[in-house]
Structure 1
């Protein structure tokens, strides 16, 4: 057996919040590895039991055989073209599982495929600590509908995304485990073998992550594509050949300023062939936008039309921070033009520091500068003692002519008047009141009892009860086992049974009670 199964129990053990778990999901070409079915996608989410995600890993796997069941998971022969084989990713997968309790929903399914794949490599696995969340859910929750999507929705209030992709399902299961461990009505403990070191195989760091379940959403296709890729702690560099194709397709998709669904799917396929992760995809998207920005700034000026084009690209690429300075400058210019002196057209006459200062003040608050006396000029500001034909013409037309000092007083008064009018509806206590109400609402939410607590069993099922409800009724199904953490007769019984999701084995030694009946099924 690949796994030695433990359990989450209310009767004492290790605090699972401090333990490391490796949440595993596989997509396969069929249901039975003994009939030739192979792994075609694998994902692992490494996390602590408190919900802290430590690392993610995901890749398509070339199974070496045709894929007959693409309608179940969306993986076709085209998708796995150029993907690494299981032999090439075996070392990386073992590194992801090393030193952790491996978690799966009906973990015996993953167990059968791991046993077959590693046996082909001459590296049989055994004794890895395992937790089946199907067993845990049935043991503690009295609510039929134990499939992963239904349990995820019950415990988190959200339906999972990217279903039937290895990473999507692993993330859903990680969220489910976090809620079960952290928010159960009664404390749960880990009762099973501790994490242990696994065999080491050469690591290639070859990956072909699949971005599945794409949706445009509120942030756009490429933001979803990036989010569906694994967030790896140590991401390998993209493969150059695949990256060139991805960048070419990206340019094509953004040529008209928007990305459509078909283009997003094509980009997802090319992202897999380039080996992109969240980190490297964001880097590629950022480089793309920076090249476009360089072209816009080449003449020293970014026009309004160029800024709009950059903004569309930044929104599609989800890298708006790379042009935030341009947007802030444009916003400041718009605010200046809409300032309290908007509509004031001023004509400066002469030179001098005072004149320059008052004109700068006026322009900063929205005034425009004239060069001649026209009917739109509202004020002429002449340096002290300066008289020109322009000042004479202004007086003839009834346009005020003021010194810089007089003009500064007039303009300051106008700005202050405008600011007082804006403040008429303001209230200094507004932010304080809003923060207090938000805190009260958060307190109300915090006091709510999660709906799923209503399905919490008064006591966890005994082994006999579990067997009667979930095993004996389906006696013709394979019977996975729960393996006690200590060596005993129960361990011998476990070794004579099959995997995690349907069978029980004695765990008398594990629970330490003379009257404990045969062990837990998954």
Structure 2
């Protein structure tokens, strides 16, 4: 075996929850490579698309907008295997990370050998090398004087665990307590898993690639206005703008629809002005544009990529809009509402709020459901996938709270 593959592979995972048996999945993996003396020889990390909701996002800080661009575990299994083959696996709470790794490989149809007999847990080893330290990664790093910023980023945590391992190796010098582990790892037979062409994705990917959706439309000659194309585009805008937010997934939906309707960037911009004009006409129909209505017009204009002056122009227009009224979605008493994701206060609290507002909290998405409330509107949960297939609007909890409050007035 190539000696460059001898040494340690320090692993850290971020997951949707605590147990694979609860259908939790890996959503970020990082590996820091060290040679037998503890010197860093490389590192690698990527987000992983679990095709489900992301669990406690307030802990790991990973957005669905980023993860939707990421490869699935099966797509990275080959690259990850190349990093782990021949090396001693190391992690802070090794049992946790190995449990998820074995589960993900099994899901991908490529089970790997049991790595636990010769793996190193920097948390367990702290009993020997840092007896006064708390067992958490942050606690051990503090006692060992190791920097740990942005905890719960897999690569940052893997670097910290690697620094802990180097600290342990220095304390045990000139001998190493893990020589036998290195020998066992070097001789372990791994399955052959072809490396795919999947590209690793880091946090912040959505911010780097997702410009305003107007800028991503083709810049070609506009076509003459026609209702056949305007109506479906307006209907999708109604759904997308319901929560005063255009998620990354919704931006992709608008771009895809514009492509199917053969809309140029100029066509879409014209339709955005028409949409704003229709909202302005509805706002001033009773002779008074309230501060709340003006705020919504300003917000919609910004979301649609229109300048602030567009609102003044829309309010000043005397003629009625060319297209039918927009913004007609309203929840009615008894409507079915479904919730998904890890929400502040717990999902049960939000379901109770729905019942108090006169709606029916439902457990699953069917064609009869009127609204899906998601902790992250870009979620890839099964409920969200069904909602998108059925053209059911997806809104944030804050937006649902505003809708419920408006219905009470």
**TM-score, length of structure 1 as denominator length:** 0.36
**TM-score, length of structure 2 as denominator length:** 0.46
Larger Rg: 1
